[in-house]
Structure 1
Amino acid sequence: MKKWFQKSIIITVALLTFGLISPNHFIWEQILDNKSPSRAISSDGHDYEQVKIADESVDYGNMADAAREQAYIKFGNRIGPVIQHEFDDVIFPKIQEAIDITIAKATDQKITHLAISEQPSGDYHEKIFNIYNDSTKKDLIRFHVRTDKKPQEGYYFNFHYHLAEDKYSKHYVLGDIYWSKNTPPKWLS
């Protein structure tokens, strides 16, 4: 489909919804090209719907959109609206930086096969999304959020990631977001 027509549709939807529907380019490409996402099994054995990051060159905007979308799916309707601003202002730029640094270290061959997992874990599990090599099915970087209870303060969401280069043994902290003294709802709720 013509690029100008595709862009016109995206702009029209953004204007009609006052920006409430994010024009995630992957979704629009799938709708307009009448494609469906493929499925893959990652190195941890889970079945994921995959979002291709690149065919010939890395589209960092697409990766950022897909990462943000997976985070908000994980937050659900109860947590997302409460932490949205602090996540967008503080945590998400650090997620983008971690992705950029990790990809900068990767070889060109690995970059062309990167995909982002979908289906974040629910209940009280930590996984938000993984970036993995589509050809080898091995994770490159895993992004998690953990619920921590600090005595006399309340609950915090601890955002962190793990890298394949150290066999996921270290927590690289992205930051904390305060929830309240009340127990937060389960993820995806």
Structure 2
Amino acid sequence: MKKWFQKTIIIAVALLTFGLISPNHFIWEQLLDNKTPMKSISSDANTTEFQQVSLIDTLDPVESISMAAREQAYIKFGNRIGPVIQNEFDDVIFPRIQEAIDATVAKVEGDQASNLSISEQPSGEYHEKIFHIYNETTKKDLIRFHVRTDKKPQDGFYFNFHYHLAEDKYAKHYALGEIFWSKNTPPKWLS
């Protein structure tokens, strides 16, 4: 990916998110870190050249969507919720999100996977939307990832992660898991 394009993306996201994502965020480290392990290429016994392999250039559509999915989730969590649930989200919930993404993309015909994109506006307040994966050509969602805040009597508040599929007209909830918050009301999303 061209340096000017990377910088443009960073500036655009910083402006759109009012600085909620800083350049030291995990995603930006991955984007800007073009130094992956060096590969040795030998043309003869006396000459060894090193070639730098860019992480971005090797990403397939599923990897790109996965990176963007994690980024959108952390945008939604904001600075108040994200640090509290980060470990459990990364260890339990995100691998399940990844499985759902993989299964959905596997159903897409041939080269249509390159037409898939991820929405970039998680909802705030107490709304559920984290991100949707949609076909850029048809503008139709294939899968919608949401998180709902549930209050369980005597237990407290939980974040209920789930998704909906276009194939059943988004009627069914497919559970991804829950993360306990506390007995206190959680802050609004994006805060």
Q: TM-score under structure 1 normalisation?
A: 0.72
Report the alpha carbon displacement of residue 23 of structure 1 after superposing the two structures with TM: 4.1
Report the alpha carbon displacement of residue 26 of structure 1 after superposing the two structures with TM: 9.0
Pick from 105, 114, 117 the counterpart of residue 116 of structure 2. Answer: 114
Report the alpha carbon displacement of residue 59 of structure 1 after superposing the two structures with TM: 2.9
Contact 1:26 1:62 in 2 (8 A): no
RCO comparison, higher one (Cα < 8 Å, 6+):
1
Report the alpha carbon displacement of residue 92 of structure 1 after superposing the two structures with TM: 0.1
Decide whether aligned partners of structure 1 residues 182 and 172 sit closer, same or farther in structure 2, where only a CA change above 3 A counts.
same
Does 1:142 pair with 2:152? Answer: no
- Looking at structure 1, the residues matched to 135 and 2 of structure 2 have their Cα atoms a distance apart, in angstroms, of 30
Pick from 166, 170, 175 the counterpart of residue 173 of structure 1. Answer: 175
Does 1:162 pair with 2:176? Answer: no
Report the alpha carbon displacement of residue 64 of structure 1 after superposing the two structures with TM: 1.1
Equivalences, count: 148
Decide whether aligned partners of structure 1 residues 2 and 136 sit closer, same or farther in structure 2, where only a CA change above 3 A counts.
closer
Structure possessing the higher radius of gyration over alpha carbons: 2
- Looking at structure 1, the residues matched to 168 and 28 of structure 2 have their Cα atoms a distance apart, in angstroms, of 32
Matched residue of 1:186: which SS?
coil
**In the alignment, what sits opposite 2:9?**
none
Give identity over the alignment, percent: 71
Pick from 85, 88, 94 the counterpart of residue 86 of structure 1. Answer: 88
Does 1:68 pair with 2:75? Answer: no
- Looking at structure 2, the residues matched to 81 and 122 of structure 1 have their Cα atoms a distance apart, in angstroms, of 17
Q: Which runs of 5+ in 1 are unaligned?
A: 7-18, 29-56
**In the alignment, what sits opposite 1:130?**
132
Please give the root-mean-square deviation of Cα atoms over the aligned residues, in Å.
2.5
**In the alignment, what sits opposite 1:96?**
98
Contact 2:61 2:114 in 1 (8 A): no
- Looking at structure 1, the residues matched to 165 and 151 of structure 2 have their Cα atoms a distance apart, in angstroms, of 25
**In the alignment, what sits opposite 1:31?**
none
Q: Deviations over 1:88-119 (max 9, x none)?
A: 00000000000000111111243121000001
- Looking at structure 2, the residues matched to 148 and 22 of structure 1 have their Cα atoms a distance apart, in angstroms, of 29
Q: Which runs of 5+ in 2 are unaligned?
A: 7-22, 33-58
Q: TM-score under structure 2 normalisation?
A: 0.71
Report the alpha carbon displacement of residue 161 of structure 1 after superposing the two structures with TM: 0.2
